[in-house]
Amino acid sequence: MPIIDLLSTETVICDLQVGSKKRTLDTISTLVSNRADNISQDDIFTGLIERERLGSTGIGKGVAIPHCRLDDLEKPIGLFFKLSKSVDFDAIDREPVDLIFALVVPSNCCDEHLSTLAQLAELFDDDHNRSRLRQCTNSIELYQALQSMTS
């Protein structure tokens, strides 16, 4: 599935204020639960925290890709944030994070999940892509930038 198909103008947020990694995961949980009627915010938060315990999803260069798989989820849900202020995400390079792509997928979508994570890693490994996203000043501009990068 193309990355942009996981997003909409409602799931891309520019200058989000969170303050911490835990608050970021809580915000992700709330927003995903608003889009998935049969999954509670607590179940999503627990899934994200359990994944973080395996190792930080902060992939370096100011980017994190928090993700998890959930049994009762019907379809993949993606969110993208550009934070107003970087947060410590225990990233592998110890740099704070300001670009976050959250991904929550059904448990039975293992291959699709891994493929999407690989696409995201490639997208965010590109210096030009990260710079372009950081220059966006509103959510529509951010969505359009992602759209052009992933189409």
* Catalytic annotation present for 113: no
pTM of the predicted protein model: 0.94
Residue 32 to residue 20: CA distance in whole angstroms? 18
User: Among residues 6, 52, 62, 67, which one is catalytic?
Assistant: 67
Per the model's pLDDT, the better-predicted residue between 110 and 145 turns out to be 145
The segment with the largest mean pLDDT, out of 5-9, 85-89, 111-115, is 85-89
Question: b/e for 108-118, b at 16 or more Cβ within 10 A?
Answer: ebeeebeebbe
Examine the pLDDT at 77 and tell me if it is beyond 90. Answer: yes
- In percent, the amount of the chain with pLDDT more than 70 equals 99
The residue whose two tokens read 């100011």 is 62
Return the pLDDT at 64.
97
Q: Which of 99, 113, 103, 90 is nearest to 146 (CA)?
A: 99
Each residue's pLDDT tens digit, 28-38: 999 999 998 78
Which domains does the chain carry?
3-150 (3.40.930.10)
